[in-house]
Amino acid sequence: MVNNLEITSLIRLLDDPDKEIFEHVHDKLLSYGTDVVGHLETAFGDAFDAIQQERIANLVHEIQFRELKNELNLWYHGGAFDLLQGALIVNKYQYPDLDEQKVVNYIENIKRDIWLQMMHEASPAEQVKLINHVFYNIYGFSGNTSNHQDPQNSFLSQVIDSHRGNQISLAIIYSVIAQRLDIPIYGVNLPQHFILAYVDESMQSDTDNGVLFYINTFSKGFIFGRRDVDHFLKQLKLKPERHFYEPCSNVDIIKRVLRNLISAYEKLNSLEKVTELYELLRILSEERA
């Protein structure tokens, strides 16, 4: 049970110059977890002392980051079945007060608008053409070509607000919508360019894994084939390994989101964020029980 009096008293001691007292207060407040965040945020607004404000802000971040790691760990060890949930957990790294339901509802709205126009006997290409029309023409999504390295491109809440994102954020939203419509479109971890594949599981073989065609969500849902992937890999001077052509796991997708963020924050010289994002990446690299 949260002791409001004790919390208020402890917060007042956060600017104590005695290191031992500060560490004791810090650890005690940390032990309350997210229950104390609201109290700390109120105290931050009321504080006039710069040291106290800095310590409150750092403590709030520490509590929220610890909670985030727990959420990511649970998602990963629980099987990582929900790609959208994994992306929203990462979103909360920068936006801890994220209204997840707002993002979910927005995606459901796009799905509904596609479903209302969907023909029962539509071919795979026709299905993708319809998704493209709603996603790009009606909702106005596009690739952020002017500021591709901006870390905001990797946070779904910001992509939905701005309708601009990078390859992987657009691909996540697109594939989540498709899968909720029972359309088998999945992520493919192609080097330097994340793409999607339309998979017909009834046509799987040892050579093509049932992929009918690929989709480039960064280029308004452009459809292309295996030979184009061959050509792209040849340009990169990479051997055409099988996993470059096949759908990847949800964990691989979230790992790639984290690597994109690490690269973006490295360019901004935000080394503390880079260190923390590597911590999140390590969680997804642990061996599952």
Tokens of 217: 């969500």
Burial class of 257 by CB neighbour count within 10 A (0 to 12, 13 to 18, 19+) = buried
Residue that terminates a domain, selected from 55, 77, 99: 77
Look up the domain containing 38 and give its range.
4-77
Q: Using pLDDT thresholds of 50, 70 and 90, give the confidence band for residue 207.
A: low
Q: Specify whether 178 is located in the same domain as 98.
A: yes
Question: Are 243 and 171 members of one domain?
Answer: yes
User: Residue 167 to residues 16, 218, 221, 268: CA-CA distances in angstroms?
Assistant: 48, 5, 11, 20
User: How confident is the model at residue 274, as a pLDDT?
Assistant: 98
Claim to verify: residue 38 and residue 54 sit in the same structural domain: yes
* 202 or 117, greater pLDDT: 117
Residue 133 pLDDT exceeds 90: yes
- Cα separations in angstroms, 263 against 1, 38, 162: 42, 32, 21
Cα–Cα dist 258/151, whole Å: 10
Q: 18 versus 170: which is more confidently predicted?
A: 170
Q: Answer yes or no: pTM beyond 0.85.
A: yes
Query: How many domains does the chain divide into?
Result: 2
The answer to whether residue 204 scores a pLDDT higher than 60 is no
Residue 170 CA, chain-centre distance (Å), reads 11
256 lies in the same domain as 273: yes
Q: Render pLDDT for 61-117 as a digit per residue (tens, 0 to 9).
A: 999 999 999 999 999 999 999 999 999 999 999 999 999 999 999 999 999 999 999
Distances (CA, A) of 6 to 9, 17, 59, 85, 284: 5, 20, 17, 35, 37
User: Is 229 domain-assigned?
Assistant: yes
Q: Within this chain, do residues 165 and 239 fall inside the same structural domain, yes or no?
A: yes
Q: Rg of the Cα trace of the chain?
A: 22
The CB-side HSE value for 137 (13 A sphere, CA atoms) comes to 9
Same domain, 122 and 143: yes
- 128 with 175, same domain: the answer is yes
Q: Which residue's entry shows tokens 């030979």?
A: 227
**Nearest of 183, 182, 186 to residue 168 by alpha carbon:** 186
* Residue 289 within any structural domain of the chain: no
